[in-house]
Amino acid sequence: MNVLMVASECAPFVKTGGLADVVGALPAALARVDVDAQVLLPAYPPLFPLLPKGEEVARFDDLPGGPGRIVKVKAEGMTLLLLDAPQLFDRPGGLYVDETGRDWSDNHLRFGALSMAGARIAMGAIDGYQPDVLHAHDWQAALAPVYLRMAGRDTPRSVITIHNIAFQGRFGPQVLAQLHLKTDWFHPEGLEFHGDLNVLKGALMFSDRITTVSPTYAREILTPEFGMGLEGVLQARAGALSGVLNGIDTEAWDPATDGALAQTYDVRTLKRKADNKTALRARLGLDPSSTGPLCCVVSRLTNQKGLDALLEAVPHLVQRGAQLAVLGTGQPELEQGFRDAAEAHPGQVATHIGYDEALSHLFQAGSDAILIPSRFEPCGLTQLYGLRYGTLPVVARTGGLADTVIDANVAALLAKAATGFVFHDVSATGIALVIDRVVEAYADPKLWQSMQRAAMRHPVDWDSSAQAYRDLYADLAG
């Protein structure tokens, strides 16, 4: 079975969030169940060193935004198909934004080109390579299924995966012609959404299947509270919609071998985890004599993640004797808020503004608990890293957080099944109440260690989800 993945990021090469982790880990997991997945990705500057090592396998003169060529290269165990179109991708700044943080004004062309290249490859543009299914990820790849459908019914089947429905790719109707889209598809049953082109909606209308990254989020997005305006479209296609939980790369995230840690450990040598707490506290200037739990945040600093509410609960957290370590970047007022909190509570709160992959591993290993008070969370990966590292997740009951963490309620504790703390109310009060539960549980080392062991034994690999994707592809390919 051949599957062409189309995506705008892929770990470890280029990453802004969980999408990259998924696209980077899924192909290896699929290979274990006999699916060959190649990944079509824009050739951004960090990928330039790979271009001379690869082979040009296709050329397109008429993509949106100009010509591009496809370079096939093997790297990190993956087969990458890089869309080399310097006029679109050779620039400083972020993957989606310029150096001032503003969206690139030609993002519709950049990702329209990616999507059209994907559709052409799915239709056989590379000699000797015929994908059975095209699997598009998020709005940046969402026109690929639309171009396939435009080419007729006798083309490979397609799947769109929604990693976050908040990002839809909305553009004015003037871009339709630039994107070679049929203007007679610009209506409410097609690509149109409140007068604009909505790229994600296009994929929801024209893909054969729709998946999202957890069963709970798959149900949530059918409602106005979570559907971000697309709930009606999704309800109409509910029969094609399913949730497949993300796994994690258990080799890159393994406390027994992780080179970014001060000390490696596993479920049998859990005591050694403490060396990482010592190292993390020293690195961040946190008081080493504090006896409460060290709670961390590793996150985009946005309101989606409920971090405005956490900020309000910081005085309570400190007053209960817990410590807080924050690693993240994002909304300026939240960055400033956590900097101020660190200044107000020296030794008890530390804030590191920035994106630092290696440090994120030490945060996971060195903390006792990881706080994820998201207002919505399609899947979430940091709670899975937390489980794997025996760092108990403290999560809001939403999306994939609700599907992956077992709350320390009485029944779960009696069954020795509890792996973290789940709460409902994302507010300063709700967070303060769950912090009380964390502090009390931490004061009982036997209980805490038994939860850590349950967490570390909880399966977080890709195995069962890779099988679910394989079954879905097989179903589609007939």
Pick one of 1, 12, 17, 303: the residue that binds ligand ADP (CB under 6 A): 17
Q: 191 or 381: whose CB is closer to ligand ADP?
A: 381
Residue 365 near ligand ADP by CB under 6 A: no
Residue 360 near ligand ADP by CB under 6 A: yes
By beta carbon distance, the residue nearest ligand ADP is: 18
Rounded Cα distance, 390 and 420, in Å: 10
Residue 335 near ligand ADP by CB under 6 A: no
Q: How many CB atoms lie within 10 A of CB 363?
A: 29
- Secondary structure letter of residue 292 according to DSSP: S
Rounded Cα distance, 332 and 311, in Å: 13
Pick one of 272, 283, 300, 320: the residue that binds ligand ADP (CB under 6 A): 300
Residue 328 near ligand ADP by CB under 6 A: yes
Rounded Cα distance, 204 and 118, in Å: 17
For residue 424, the minimal CB distance to ligand ADP (Å) is 20
Residue 354 gets the label, from left (phi > 0), alpha (psi -120 to 50) or beta, of: left
Q: 296 or 406: whose CB is closer to ligand ADP?
A: 296
Closest CA to 363 of 461, 273, 268, 458: 273
First to last CA, the chain: 11
Residue 334 near ligand ADP by CB under 6 A: no
Q: Which stretch binds ligand ADP (CB under 6 A): 227-235, 237-245, 322-330, 441-449?
A: 322-330
Q: Residue for token digits 């690929």?
A: 144
Residue 8 near ligand ADP by CB under 6 A: no
> Cis (ω within 30 of 0) for the bond into 12?
yes
Residue 444 near ligand ADP by CB under 6 A: no
Residue 381 near ligand ADP by CB under 6 A: yes
Residue 91 near ligand ADP by CB under 6 A: no
**In a 3-state reduction of DSSP, which class is residue 70?**
strand
Name which of residues 133 to 162 contact ligand ADP (CB under 6 A): none
Non-local (6+) Cβ contacts of 340 within 8 A are: none
Backbone angles phi, psi at 434, to 5 degrees: -75, -30
Pick one of 4, 9, 18, 441: the residue that binds ligand ADP (CB under 6 A): 18
Residue 351 near ligand ADP by CB under 6 A: no
**In a 3-state reduction of DSSP, which class is residue 291?**
coil
Pick one of 356, 425, 436, 461: the residue that binds ligand ADP (CB under 6 A): 356
Rounded Cα distance, 169 and 156, in Å: 24
Could you tell me the maximum CA-CA distance found in the chain, to the nearest angstrom?
A: 68
Residue 190 near ligand ADP by CB under 6 A: no
For residue 97, the minimal CB distance to ligand ADP (Å) is 15
From residue 220, alpha-carbon distances to 227, 230, 470 in Å are 7, 11, 24
Residue 436 is encoded by which pair of tokens? 């009380």
Residue 339 near ligand ADP by CB under 6 A: no
Helix (H) or strand (E) holding 364: helix 357-366
Pick one of 5, 14, 21, 293: the residue that binds ligand ADP (CB under 6 A): 21
For residue 101, the minimal CB distance to ligand ADP (Å) is 15
For residue 136, the minimal CB distance to ligand ADP (Å) is 17
For residue 315, the minimal CB distance to ligand ADP (Å) is 24
> Where along the sequence are the contacts to ligand ADP (CB under 6 A)?
17-18, 21, 298-300, 327-329, 355-357, 360, 379-382
